[in-house]
């Protein structure tokens, strides 16, 4: 729970738009917003200013496709094209 609070504080300190800050202040003080409203607002808010593919790959520990599983799936689907040709189609 403390991680979430720290993350929220960090997001708020990065805000430099007075209108957004005023809206956030109003929302925090309002008891009329439902939990669903809060969740929608949080999901609509950007998580980070810039997204870097290499950072996402590292953070999510992405390993890429498994060649053996791909070939087994292709074999199970009874594909007529060679696997290499299918892979080439994906990289075009």
Average pLDDT over residues 41-65: 78
Q: Say which residue, 46 or 1, is predicted with more confidence.
A: 1
- Residue 66's pLDDT band, with cuts at 50, 70 and 90, is confident
Contact 70, 82 (CB under 8 A): no
Residue 48 has a pLDDT of 67
- Tokens describing residue 44: 């609509």
Q: Say which residue, 19 or 32, is predicted with more confidence.
A: 19
Residue 47 has a pLDDT of 63
Residue 46 has a pLDDT of 63
């Amino acid at each position: 729970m403390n991680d979430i609070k720290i993350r929220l504080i960090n997001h708020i300190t990065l805000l430099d738009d007075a209108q957004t800050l005023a809206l956030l202040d109003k929302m925090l003080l309002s008891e009329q917003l439902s939990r669903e409203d809060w969740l929608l607002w949080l999901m609509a808010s950007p998580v980070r200013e810039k997204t870097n593919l290499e950072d996402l790959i590292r953070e999510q520990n992405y390993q890429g496709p498994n060649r053996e599983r791909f070939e087994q799936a292709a074999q199970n689907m009874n594909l007529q094209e060679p696997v290499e040709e299918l892979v080439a189609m994906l990289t075009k």
